Amino acid sequence: MSEDNLTAVLYKAQDLRLEQRPIPTPGHGEVLLRVGSVGLCGSDVSYWWRGRTARHVVKTPLVLGHEFSGTVVQCGPGVHTLKPGDRVAIEPGVPCRVCEHCKKGRYNVCRDVKFCATPPVDGSLTRYYVHPADFCFKLDEGVSDEEGALVEPLAVAVYSCQRAEVGVGRPVLVLGAGPIGLVSLLTARAMGASPICITDINEERLKFARQLGAEHALNVSGMSDKEAARRISQLLPRPPSSVIECSGADSSYRIGILAGAKGGVMVTVGRGNPDVTLPVTLLTAKEMEVRGIFRYANCYPAALAMITSGTVDLRALVTHRFRLDQVDQAFHTARDGTAIKVMVRVDRGGAGHGPTE
Ligand SMILES: NC(=O)c1ccc[n+]([C@@H]2O[C@H](COP(=O)([O-])OP(=O)(O)OC[C@H]3O[C@@H](n4cnc5c(N)ncnc54)[C@H](O)[C@@H]3O)[C@@H](O)[C@H]2O)c1
Ligand SMILES: [Zn+2]
Ligand SMILES: [Zn+2]
């Protein structure tokens, strides 16, 4: 095996260094992976630019990246489900497996979950990475490494649509057309929702959403909450019973409640102002439910099946590609607002695997 384990390490805000690290050894139940593609997420960009997200601070050097795929190069003892050469999508959060939440299957809210690239747990912008085999999901030959990396944001969307009770022939409102809003749009469509209205304040993103099949893409910039809700009610045949908030903007939460159907559900995916003011009286009168979303639990198999079957096609979301040695440039591009999804090709060849790259 090559000695090269080039790794991008964040020391502090805007101080990202490429350095060699020892290649780790897989323990019991673990596999050593050669990392393929890593998608940059808003949280990675926030750690890189500000040295923190809302909740977590980079205090010791941290490797970023949690949306990724790779190839198994070595199996630790006790691994029977994978073999060297298998390409996999990696579910980045590994829970304790024994607490009450884990036992009930809601392992996403496990107190002791170790999530890649969340301090102090290192992420995947490194050539070699060790991970438990049962959090690695085999990719079919027809699925590219980039699509494997996109399973992570897709899992957020699958979980959100499930918890929002998205259903066949029912209107859906998605607030925010960033990567998460866009994958939610595609997932809701794949689940038969119709029509779908998506909002944003960025016309480019709305244009993209239309290309991806949004029946209605509304620019809410400069609108009052009431005006936006009124426009949504004119666009949709009836109030949306499923509202998916993916912007984190104060006004979006309120518009979701104003526009949502009586008895409907709004899921809150966006992470915004913790002290946002909501029209609670209206929420009560409408008997709407607001449900939090924290990542996902047990959604990788469904997300992967949707990609493998072609039910969702996420390839257009990848707008920019860089090699690991260009990682600084990749972060600048992810931050400047022009990209939808920036991918970092970590394999040394840089040419990529799979049919679509
Ligand atoms: N709950 C979870 O587990 C989870 C997982 C991933 C991401 N997130 C959060 O979901 C949100 C979306 O993630 P993303 O990667 O797509 O982020 P993003 O920042 O790329 O996208 C947010 C979008 O919202 C738009 N926006 C801003 N103000 C708006 C407004 N007033 N109305 C409508 N749209 C508006 C922005 O223009 C942008 O297109 C973020 O807050 C992120 O932190 C949560
Ligand atoms: Zn992410
Ligand atoms: Zn647990």
**pLDDT mean over 64-93:** 98
Q: How confident is the model at residue 350 (pLDDT cuts 50, 70, 90)?
A: low
What pLDDT score was predicted for residue 236?
98
Token pair 């049962």: residue: 134
Is the per-residue pLDDT at 357 higher than 50? no
Q: Of the candidates 237, 111, 260, which has an alpha carbon nearest to the alpha carbon of residue 174? A: 260
- Asked if residue 42 has its Cβ within 6 Å of ligand 1, the reply is yes
- Asked if residue 176 has its Cβ within 6 Å of ligand 1, the reply is yes
Q: Where are the beta strands (DSSP E) in the chain?
A: 6-12, 15-20, 30-39, 62-63, 67-75, 87-90, 93-94, 114-115, 128-132, 136-138, 172-175, 196-200, 216-219, 242-245, 265-268, 289-292, 318-323, 341-345
Task: Indicate the residue type of 100.
Answer: E
Distance CA 278, CA 341 (A): 31
Output DSSP code: residue 21: -
What pLDDT score was predicted for residue 217?
98
Is the per-residue pLDDT at 323 higher than 70? yes
Distance CA 103, CA 190 (A): 30
**What is the rounded average pLDDT for all residues in the chain?**
96
Token pair 């107190």: residue: 111
**pLDDT mean over 67-84:** 98
Distance CA 248, CA 260 (A): 17
Pick from 200, 220, 338 the residue to mutate for probing ligand 1's pocket: most ligand atoms within 8 Å of its CB.
Answer: 200
Residues 183/163, Cβ–Cβ less than 8 Å: no
Reported as a single tens digit per residue, the pLDDT across 13-26 is 999 999 999 999 99
Is the per-residue pLDDT at 129 higher than 60? yes
Distance CA 177, CA 217 (A): 9
Question: What is the number of other CB atoms lying within 10 angstroms of the CB of residue 225?
Answer: 19
Instruction: Provide the 3-class DSSP secondary structure of residue 16.
Output: strand
For residue 232, what are its two tokens? 């949504």
What pLDDT score was predicted for residue 347?
87
Provide DSSP, 249-281.
Answer: -HHHHHHHHHHSPTT-EEEE-S---TT----HH
* Nearest ligand (C-alpha, residue 64): 2
Distance CA 119, CA 109 (A): 17
What pLDDT score was predicted for residue 353?
46
- Per residue in 133-167, is it b (16+ CB within 10 Å) or e — as a string? bebbbebeeebbbbbbbbbbbbbbbbbbbbbbebe
- Asked if residue 294 has its Cβ within 6 Å of ligand 1, the reply is yes
**pLDDT mean over 37-49:** 97
- Asked if residue 200 has its Cβ within 6 Å of ligand 1, the reply is yes
Pick from 110, 113, 156, 180 the residue to mutate for probing ligand 1's pocket: most ligand atoms within 8 Å of its CB.
Answer: 180
Residue ID of nearest Cα to ligand 1 atom 3: 295
What pLDDT score was predicted for residue 349?
60
Is the per-residue pLDDT at 133 higher than 70? yes
- Asked if residue 246 has its Cβ within 6 Å of ligand 1, the reply is yes
Taking the CA of residue 220 as reference, the ligand 1 atom at the shortest distance is 32
- Residue 192 half-sphere exposure toward CB, CA atoms < 13 A: 7
Strands 62-63 and 216-219: unpaired
Reported as a single tens digit per residue, the pLDDT across 258-309 is 999 999 999 999 999 999 999 999 999 999 999 999 999 999 999 999 999 9
Q: Please provide residue 316's backbone torsions phi and psi, each rounded to the nearest 5 degrees.
A: -65, -20
Q: What torsion do the CA atoms of 221, 227, 231, 232 make, to the nearest 10 degrees?
A: 80
What pLDDT score was predicted for residue 280?
97
Reported as a single tens digit per residue, the pLDDT across 145-155 is 999 999 999 99
> What structural domains does the chain harbor?
6-138+314-345 (3.90.180.10), 157-292 (3.40.50.720)
Q: How confident is the model at residue 351 (pLDDT cuts 50, 70, 90)?
A: very low
Is the per-residue pLDDT at 96 higher than 70? yes
Is the per-residue pLDDT at 71 higher than 70? yes
- Asked if residue 182 has its Cβ within 6 Å of ligand 1, the reply is no
What pLDDT score was predicted for residue 97?
98
What pLDDT score was predicted for residue 2?
53
CA of 348 to the centre of ligand 2 (A): 24
Token pair 């029946």: residue: 215
- Asked if residue 270 has its Cβ within 6 Å of ligand 1, the reply is yes
What pLDDT score was predicted for residue 356?
38
- Asked if residue 178 has its Cβ within 6 Å of ligand 1, the reply is yes
| Rounded (10°) angle between helices 42-50 and 327-335 | 110
Q: How confident is the model at residue 55 (pLDDT cuts 50, 70, 90)?
A: confident
Q: How confident is the model at residue 352 (pLDDT cuts 50, 70, 90)?
A: very low
Instruction: Provide the 3-class DSSP secondary structure of residue 104.
Output: coil
**pLDDT mean over 49-70:** 96
Q: How confident is the model at residue 321 (pLDDT cuts 50, 70, 90)?
A: very high
